[in-house]
Amino acid sequence: MAFEIKQIEAGESLTMEFKREYTEETKKTIIAFANTAGGTLYIGINDDKSIHGVKNPDEVLLQITNAVRSSIKPDLSLFVDYKTEKIGKAAIIAISVQKGTACPYYLAGKGIRPEGVYVRQGPSSVPATETAILNMIKETDGTQYEKVRSLKQDLTFIEAGKFFKAKNVPFAQNQQKTLHLQTPDGVHTNLGLLFSDQAVHTVKLAVFHGSEKEVFKDRREFSGSLLKQLDDIYKFLDMFNHTNATVNGLYREDKRDYPEDALREALLNALVHRDYAFSSSTLISIFDDRMEFVSVGGLPKGVSLDDIFLGLSIPRNENLANVFYRLHLIEAYGTGIPKIIRSYTHCAKKPELLTTNNAFKITLPNINSHNKPSDSTVFSNGNEEKIMTLFDKQIEITRNDVEASLSVSQAMAVRLLRVLVEKGAIQVIGGGRNTRYRKAF
């Protein structure tokens, strides 16, 4: 026992602390030891090193072990040892804590935030800075974004749950762990964050007039669960995938501006293979003659564009790709880009792929753009041209918009709109009082 007394006489330090009795602060000290260099906490000793003792040590010891098991995440039980000792007639509790292998450890009720993560600073336990927390996570989990524990733990999965249910794929906690949205200890990973309603990464979409980034027609930003973004974006893109009809003899052929497979695969590629370690948004631009998809993150090291054309796939986000595969959103790794290329086999203009160290870009040409008539051949008078300029500022117009802009009667507005519909310049959306018109090219 002389050895223990000698330790006590040395006083509090980086690896030793005294507490008169068990309090909520005890858990913070245990966490700090586990996150720093380990240490021993003595219950029943005053700050001035005088012995106070612990009444009912067995009850206090049970209270401490229960608190460590239920209030500290990840599970620290294997790294904590407890024993009751006697100094004279007084009983004290010695809690020995090793440095853990799953840092940062934190208070379950506070999460992986400074108010929940503690470290030792000299003889004191203090909240860790966000930088220190991130460094601990990287040291423990590595640098692959999707596998790292999320700093946000208060996550909900309402939208993702709907999607999994619609696909008849189970989405309980066990499945979330299997899919790596949670660690085995039930801690949300960054992959879980991507699928949660609290996801922080967004997609920005812009619609331009003509073929240059000069005049905006519309701007949107899509946020929330990655699955909700996927669904919302595809529906929006589909609005701009117009159908061009040609008649050969008795037969009518409908051809959409963009092959549906190409549109779908380009969007999936932008979401599945982007580098989520960067906060920059994925960018989608819609022009009259093309769509562009720009995602953050170049090709994985050692992979070239030629490899991509051949179907080689080394997914940056392997677990994310696996979730999309389980949901039948992608068929198999490496099939997306070849499918895009094949969908343009009989087209004069082909898709383009460009890559830099930090970005990847897919350009889909509008198949029907080279067949579309010029303004001079479509519009026969100034009023028709004025109506078409309304689409420079908005996607859809109404009869009332035409009446107000051209200062014409209701009958004249209806007549002008009907002519433009017959010429194929605009298309009718809805009916009755909800009738709207959208540019067809």
The pLDDT of 409-437, averaged and rounded, is 84
In the predicted structure, residue 206 carries a pLDDT above the cut 50? yes
Which pLDDT belongs to residue 245?
A: 66
C-alpha to C-alpha distance for 249 and 247, rounded to whole angstroms: 6
Residue 227: closest CA among 192, 275, 262: 192
C-alpha to C-alpha distance for 339 and 71, rounded to whole angstroms: 50
Domain match, 114 and 135 both: yes
C-alpha to C-alpha distance for 248 and 243, rounded to whole angstroms: 16
Domain match, 120 and 243 both: no
Domain-embedded: residue 184: no
- pLDDT tens, position by position, 89-137: 889 999 999 999 889 999 988 889 899 999 999 999 999 999 999 889 8
If you average pLDDT over every residue of the chain, what do you get? 87
Q: Is 400 exposed, middle or buried (0-12, 13-18, 19+ CB in 10 A)?
A: exposed
Contacts of 114 (CB under 8 A, 6+ apart): 127, 128, 129, 130, 133
Residue 164 C-alpha from the chain's centroid: 17
Rounded to a whole number, what is the largest CA-CA distance in the chain? 108
Pull the structure tokens for residue 283.
């960018």
C-alpha to C-alpha distance for 380 and 235, rounded to whole angstroms: 34
Domain match, 111 and 242 both: no
Structural domain count, the chain: 3
Domain match, 208 and 350 both: yes
The pLDDT of 154-169, averaged and rounded, is 95
Backbone angles phi, psi at 426, to 5 degrees: -135, 165
Residue 72: closest CA among 39, 42, 33: 33
The CATH number assigned to the domain holding 422 equals 1.10.10.10
The residue to which tokens 């929330």 are assigned? 224
C-alpha to C-alpha distance for 441 and 438, rounded to whole angstroms: 9
What residues make up the domain containing 345? 203-310+325-370
In the predicted structure, residue 346 carries a pLDDT above the cut 90? no
Q: Look at 81-95, 208-222, 265-279, 423-437 and tell me which has the smallest mean pLDDT.
A: 423-437
Kindly list the distances between the CA atom of residue 370 and the CA atoms of 66, 257, 297, 441, in Å, as whole numbers in the listed order.
Answer: 72, 10, 32, 11
Which pLDDT belongs to residue 9?
A: 66
Which pLDDT belongs to residue 138?
A: 84
Domain-embedded: residue 159: no
Domain match, 106 and 30 both: yes
Strands 90-97 and 106-107: unpaired
Higher pLDDT, 381 or 419: 419
Of the candidates 119, 139, 159, which is a domain's last residue? 139
Per the CB < 8 A criterion, the answer to whether 149 and 183 are in contact is yes
